[in-house]
Amino acid sequence: MKKPITALAAAALVATPLAAQTPTGTMGDLRPDQQQFFALYKELVETDTTVSSGSCTQASAQIATRLKAAGFADDQIIQFSVPEHPKDGGLVAVLPGTSKSLKPMLLLAHIDVVEAKREDWVREPFKLIEEGGYYYARGIADDKFMAATWADAMIRLKEANAKPKRTIKMALTCGEETDTAFNGAQYLSTQKRDLIDAAFALNEGGGGRTDGKGHLMVQTVQVGEKVYQDYKLVVTNPGGHSSQPVPDNAIYRMAEALEKIGAHEFPAELNDTTRAFFAKAGALRPDALGKAMVALTENLDNPEAMALVNKDKAMHSMLRTTCVATMIEGGHAVNALPQRVEANVNCRIFPGHSPAEIKDQLAAVVDDNAVAISFARADKLIATSPPLDPAIIGPMEALAAKYFPGVPVIPAMSTGATDAVYIGGAGIPTYGVPGAWGDPDGNGAHGLNERLEVKAVYTGRDYLFDLVKALANPK
């Protein structure tokens, strides 16, 4: 992901005090079951699972060991990898249900993480550190909290000899954070579909947001996401000696193209999910911003409302396709004119538009035949939005009222990307669930000093455990 978990800016909602009184993080404050969870969580985040130097296979094996100790049989734990990517393995675990008519449910999380350079971090990125009411570590939020919570839930249910009506499956996969890496969710959905076959899946992408001052403001359910697509822009040139420059310089040509893309604004639009989000979230705040959010649901051609909402980068992105230059490489010598310049433009495409359509629009914006534009990858699936099924959303809302009283649960479209694109694409409706919460600054996910509030960890864990039980035992 993740990627923004949702496109909500915390400032858009009325603050509500955090509902649950939870541990401060020291081991003496934790219940025995929470201590067991912490040990699993700590081991997982302290296992390097970056694509450059880590091993998801090792992390999966460690979780498999814990599942076996809890009583799972060997045939209920399937570890997988492919010879070409031996360190990018994952696992599927199965807790059999009693019903012959109810389809299974799937708990999905990725265990790989974004790169983290020690010299850039204040703290050791692969050591779980508790400080000031937060846990710090790479992956502490994205996505090892969810992976640890799902594994912990399976262990707790097995140790309690639970007999759920639905079979509960868990898939912990690698490759979500690196677009060109081996992706375990894609592999399972295309090569081992029977292992993850389910009525629905619970995934990352939802969650809570605070105002940054200790007040939980909203919980969201992700019911859709933008289409992720990278485009490769290339300019070539005969080059020459740098002592004899010419106007037709590949670097300048690329710079002009990227400036045009940076200045381009895709048109605003709404779908059912974003319209509901802006209407409900806006109504919760009786000020100019809240009124502007509601006004846009009634008329997108309201320039005053649009100007105000666009000041929030998350809401701006939620309203349209966005494209941004993320990497550039060019030249071959410091004393030579550049012969080739290549740039990556990352687009997050509003649902309903194809990557090919946006490629054509980029070409029109650049308006330069010397700039070749192609797909960096042509095999990306288009995300499928799941239905707002009351049988699934209802328990989420009911349990939120217990754990986060007074906090609204709102459907949202993620501006980021998750493995829901593969699982949903395989015909399994995939929902980003409420649970733990983050702060307006994104908590360092994908950046420096990633953190998650300790209260969010343990309240979110309890909420998600009860949600699993509720959905596995429908009334």
CB-count exposure of residue 339 (10 Å: 0-12, 13-18, 19+): middle
Q: How confident is the model at residue 6 (pLDDT cuts 50, 70, 90)?
A: very low
Residue 368 lies in a domain: yes
Q: What is the CATH number of the domain that holds 38?
A: 3.40.630.10
Task: State whether 437 and 460 are in the same domain.
Answer: yes
Task: State whether 81 and 215 are in the same domain.
Answer: yes
Task: State whether 374 and 247 are in the same domain.
Answer: yes
What pLDDT digit, counting tens, does each position of 246-271 carry? 999 999 999 999 999 999 999 999 99
Residue 40 pLDDT greater than 60, yes or no:
yes
Residue 114 lies in a domain: yes
Which 3 state secondary structure label does DSSP give 328? strand
Please state the rounded mean pLDDT for residues 230-241.
97
Domain boundary among 253, 288, 310: 310
**pTM, whole model, 2 decimals?**
0.86
Predicted pLDDT at 211: 84
Q: How confident is the model at residue 9 (pLDDT cuts 50, 70, 90)?
A: very low
Task: State whether 408 and 438 are in the same domain.
Answer: yes
d(CA 149, CA 272): 31
Task: State whether 366 and 454 are in the same domain.
Answer: no
Domain boundary among 251, 278, 310: 310
In the chain, the amino acid numbered 251 is I
Q: How confident is the model at residue 416 (pLDDT cuts 50, 70, 90)?
A: confident
Residue 260 lies in a domain: yes
Residue 286 pLDDT greater than 90, yes or no:
no
Q: What is the CATH number of the domain that holds 375?
A: 3.30.70.360
Task: State whether 73 and 49 are in the same domain.
Answer: yes
Cβ atoms 416, 402 nearer than 8 A: no
Residue 315 lies in a domain: no
The neighbouring-strand residues paired with 329 are 342
Q: How confident is the model at residue 10 (pLDDT cuts 50, 70, 90)?
A: very low
What pLDDT digit, counting tens, does each position of 59-101 carry? 999 999 999 999 999 999 999 999 999 999 999 999 999 999 9
Residue 24 pLDDT greater than 80, yes or no:
no
Please state the rounded mean pLDDT for residues 108-130.
97
Q: What percent of the chain has pLDDT over 90?
A: 83
Task: State whether 287 and 391 are in the same domain.
Answer: no
Residue 110 lies in a domain: yes
Domain boundary among 286, 310, 334: 310
Task: State whether 59 and 33 are in the same domain.
Answer: yes
Task: State whether 32 and 179 are in the same domain.
Answer: yes
User: Residue 288, Cβ neighbours under 10 Å: how many?
Assistant: 11
Range of the domain at 174: 10-225+384-472
Please state the rounded mean pLDDT for residues 317-341.
97
Residue 102 lies in a domain: yes
DSSP 232: E
Tally of domains within the chain: 3
Rama region for 129: left / alpha / beta (φ>0; ψ in -120 to 50; rest): beta
Predicted pLDDT at 299: 97
**Dihedral sign from CA coordinates of 436, 439, 444, 446:** positive
Task: State whether 163 and 192 are in the same domain.
Answer: yes
Task: State whether 139 and 283 are in the same domain.
Answer: no
Q: How confident is the model at residue 432 (pLDDT cuts 50, 70, 90)?
A: very high
Predicted pLDDT at 384: 82
Task: State whether 81 and 216 are in the same domain.
Answer: yes
User: What stretch of H or E contains 86?
Assistant: strand 85-95
**Taking all residues of the chain, what is their mean pLDDT, rounded to a whole number?**
93
Residue 5 lies in a domain: no
User: What stretch of H or E contains 456?
Assistant: helix 454-472
Record the tokens describing residue 111, joined without a space: 């265990």
Residue 4 lies in a domain: no
What helix, strand, coil percent values describe the chain, rounded to 5? Answer: 35, 25, 40
End-to-end alpha carbon distance in the chain:
33
Cβ atoms 266, 322 nearer than 8 A: yes
Predicted pLDDT at 422: 94
Record the tokens describing residue 287, joined without a space: 């000020």
What pLDDT digit, counting tens, does each position of 129-187 carry? 999 999 999 999 999 999 999 999 999 999 999 999 999 999 999 999 997 789 999 99
